[in-house]
Amino acid sequence: MSGHFEALPGGGAAVLLDEVEISILRSLAVQLLELIGPGEQPTQGEDPLAELFRDGPSEPPADPALARLFPNAYADDDEQLRAMSAEFRRFTENDLRTRKREDALAVVRSLDTLTVAGEGAAVLKLSADEARRWLGALNDLRLTIGTRLEVTDEDENDELYRLPDSDPRKPMVMAYLWLGALQETLVETLMP
């Protein structure tokens, strides 16, 4: 089980994580939460249902990683498509941000429940719902790191595997590749 997810009866998943892996995953999830931001809070006395109808932003984020997490719905090669993307974003981005925050929080909370045993590792057991949240968060983490590393489909595997240890990107590349392996095994456990 070490290093990859395995299916649990009832649709969940389990993975053996050591202290360093737990620390890295938690740190990355917290950084993702900080990147996504806290979201808009209702003002004092505001009707709680008003939040459901609050307009979101109409422009894509300036940060490339956020733009990758919250992409335009349509290509922006003409004015009409840009307007359609802005309208779509206005009505969907707040909910998408909330879901991404909830996914990252699920990772942090589940990691916080672990007790590392004498061998310096713990088995993380996830319900089917928690596993889906983890899958969303792992995907968001990979998208974010991949954007920061300027990974493209063409050079993803070849160049990344050959980075010298002296390259300052090496730790993030290793995290990116490790998260990909975790994501792949989690997808496999969730498939019927």
pLDDT score for 157: 59
Amino acid 183: pLDDT: 96
Residue 41: the pLDDT is 58
Dihedrals φ, ψ of 123, to 5°?
-95, 120
Distance CA 74, CA 114 (A): 42
Please report which helix (H) or strand (E) contains residue 73, including its range. none
pLDDT at 1: 43
Helix axes 128-148, 79-112, angle to 10 degrees: 120
pLDDT in tens, the chain (192 residues): 457 999 998 889 999 999 999 999 999 999 999 999 876 655 666 666 665 556 777 788 899 999 999 998 888 788 888 888 888 888 888 999 999 999 999 999 999 999 988 788 999 999 999 999 999 999 999 999 999 998 877 655 577 778 888 999 899 999 999 999 999 999 999 987
CB 2 within 8 A of CB 17: no
14 vs 37: CA distance, rounded Å: 29
Neighbour count for residue 91 (Cβ, 10 Å): 12
Angstrom distance (rounded) from CA 138 to CA 161: 20
